[in-house]
Amino acid sequence: MNDIIAVGLERDQLREAERAVLVGINRLRGEGLRSMRELAQLCLAAGAIPVEVMVQPRRRPDPARYVGKGKLEELKALRLSADAEIVLFDDELSPVQVSTLIDALDCKVLDRTELILDIFSQHATTREGQIQVELAQLSYLLPRLTGKGRMMDRIRGGGGGVGGGVGVRGPGETKLETDRRQLQRRMSRLRAQLEEIRSQREVESSTRRGSGVPLVSLVGYTNAGKSTLLNALVGSEEVKAHDRLFETLETTIRRAPVDGAEVLLSDTVGFIHNLPEDLVSAFMTTLEQLHEADVIVHVLDASGPWVNTERDASELILERLGVADKPTIVVLNKWDQVAGTARGEQVLMEMPDGLPISAREQMGLEQLRLLIAEAAFAHFVTLSLHVPYDRMDLLQLCREGGRVLSEEYEQDHVAAEVEVDGELVGRLKAFVVAPG
């Protein structure tokens, strides 16, 4: 695990971090390994250190204990010898499983969904993000509040004392102790607040639509390099990029130059395999602007061994969001890592539709800009204009909402070729000349 640990946590975080044993079952050959590696990365992103891994080959989890009876004994010993405060399970656990596991292991027991929720709550910075995370946490907890207080045991971590740590952030104890009805009231209040933020966003987006600037959305598996790519295309360090899962939670929109024009570029929350249902609905708002995207850029980490699986998982989510039909450009990012290797060749053969780029090394970005411009302005019309010098404002409008392909300054007008759409076409009518 050392290679993973080295990249995830800062030095001072390492000292205080809790230690975790990771547990999973290997349903299909190989798939278990991928999933466990991802669980280790999630663990690091949440601020804990994976110290031991246990994988039991079986078709499905045991309904009462997740693993088999003998394996649970082994796990107990492993947790003690590894001196770990947390045992992390790779699937969502049922209340019965949680109860049995806490009794047997006498430590903090967390599942994959809680881990993701924990990371989200650490990374949410805007009010909207925080509300969404709290909503997701509450809807995860609600069906699990069975009255036996097991949930609290689990959060407190068996007899392990209180205090901060993984899986404890978020709604907090006092809120959990209140009854279901109060939780539900809290949830409807949060939904109302979200609704308000959403209507505000409606206003903003209709202003944007009026401006006619195409919206290009970067999507893809978490850690694929979306934020790095946004920064590279915008030409500044706008968004934090970090080798950590779910670094970005909130949507950022920036203007970016492409081949003689500008587009709006948006960065979004990363996708992950088995995205918990609660989170899918909670983050719908964030992902909703994908419906408005004119073009989607699907960013893949071509250097990782799981590029196919990650592409499938992301495409599934795009389908569920109802945006799979939009014009999509697939980019094979981190190409600097695989250029000229057999691995690179294989990826190219399997994904001939992918454009190899490196966001970090700024390779292939010119071609990507061309592809984006082509897709974003596909429905625009090209006009040849003679614009009088006292109507230069019109050319400015073309620049903002479309593209100025050429301009020549002549005696009493500017001869320009522009690409525009919408109402701008009508406003330019008086100045259109026959081409040539």
Ligand X SMILES: Nc1nc2c(ncn2[C@@H]2O[C@H](COP(=O)(O)OP(=O)(O)OP(=O)(O)O)[C@@H](O)[C@H]2O)c(=O)[nH]1
Q: Which is nearer to ligand X, 171 or 304 (CB)?
A: 304
Q: How far apart are CA 90 and CA 244, in angstroms?
A: 18
Candidates 14-22, 245-253, 284-292, 363-371; binding stretch for Mg ion (CB under 5 A) = 245-253
CB of 301 to Mg ion, least distance (A): 12
Output the smallest distance, CB 297 to ligand X, in A. 11
Distance (Å, whole) CA 20 – CA 51: 6
Pick 347 or 414: Cβ nearer ligand X = 347
What's the CA gap between 391 and 413, in Å, rounded? 9
Q: Give least dist CB 135 to ligand X, A.
A: 20
Q: Return the number of the residue (154 or 226) whose C-beta is nearest ligand X.
A: 226
Residue 113 contact among ligand X, Mg ion, none, beta carbon within 5 to 8 Å by kind: none
**Least Å from the CB of residue 21 to ligand X:** 25
Q: Select from Mg ion, ligand X, none the partner in contact with residue 268, using the beta carbon and a kind-dependent cut-off of 5 to 8 Å.
A: none
The Cα 337–Cα 333 span in angstroms is: 9
Rounded to the nearest whole angstrom, what is the least distance from the CB of residue 376 to ligand X in the complex? 21
Give the one entry of ligand X, Mg ion, none that residue 150 binds, where binding means its C-beta sits below a cut-off of 5 to 8 angstroms depending on kind. none
Which one of Mg ion, ligand X, none interacts with residue 358, CB within 5 to 8 A by kind?
ligand X
Identity of the residue, 139 or 228, whose beta carbon is nearer to Mg ion in the bound complex: 228
Taking CB atoms, the residue at the shortest distance from Mg ion is 248
Distance CA(64)–CA(103), nearest Å, equals 12
Joined tokens for residue 301: 């980490």
Tell me the number of residues near Mg ion by CB under 5 A. Answer: 4
- Least distance in angstroms from the C-beta of 222 to ligand X: 4
Strands 413-420 and 381-388: antiparallel
Q: Determine the Cα–Cα distance for residues 19 and 52; give it in Å rounded to an integer.
A: 9
The single residue among 227, 289, 314, 358 that binds Mg ion, judged by CB under 5 A, is 227
Smallest separation (angstroms) from ligand X to the CB of 120:
11
Contacted entry of ligand X, Mg ion, none for residue 121, CB cut-off 5 to 8 Å set by kind: none
Which is nearer to ligand X, 20 or 119 (by Cβ)? 119
C-alpha 427/C-alpha 250 separation (Å) is 37
Task: Report the nearest approach of ligand X to the CB of residue 89 (Å).
Answer: 22
Among 41, 248, 266, 289, binds Mg ion (CB under 5 A): 248
Partner touching 18 among ligand X, Mg ion, none, CB below 5 to 8 Å by kind: none
Q: Does 247 bind Mg ion (CB under 5 A)?
A: yes
Burial-class residue 430 by CB neighbours within 10 Å (0-12, 13-18, 19+). exposed
Q: How far is CA 120 from CA 108, 192, 382, 394, in A?
A: 19, 21, 45, 45
Q: Residue 313: count other Cβ atoms within 10 Å of its Cβ.
A: 16
Q: Which of the stretches 127-135, 141-149, 246-254, 405-413 binds Mg ion when contact is defined by CB under 5 A? A: 246-254
CA distance linking residue 384 with residue 407, whole number of Å: 10
Angle subtended by helix axes 127-141 and 180-211, to nearest 10: 140
Contacts of 123 (CB under 8 A, 6+ apart): 129, 246, 247, 248, 249
Which residues of the shown chain bind ligand X in the complex (CB under 6 A)?
220, 222-228, 241-243, 245-248, 270, 333-334, 336-337, 358-361
**Planar angle of CA 160, 9, 302, nearest 5 degrees:** 125
CA dihedral (153, 155, 159, 160) in degrees, to 10, reads 180
Q: Which is nearer to ligand X, 72 or 300 (CB)?
A: 300
Find where tokens 């780029």 sit.
357
Token duo for residue 289:
């602007």
- Least separation in angstroms between residue 330's CB and ligand X is 14
Nearer to ligand X, 227 or 266 (CB): 227
Which residue type is seen at 375?
A: A
By the criterion CB under 5 A, which residues form the site for Mg ion? Answer: 226-227, 247-248
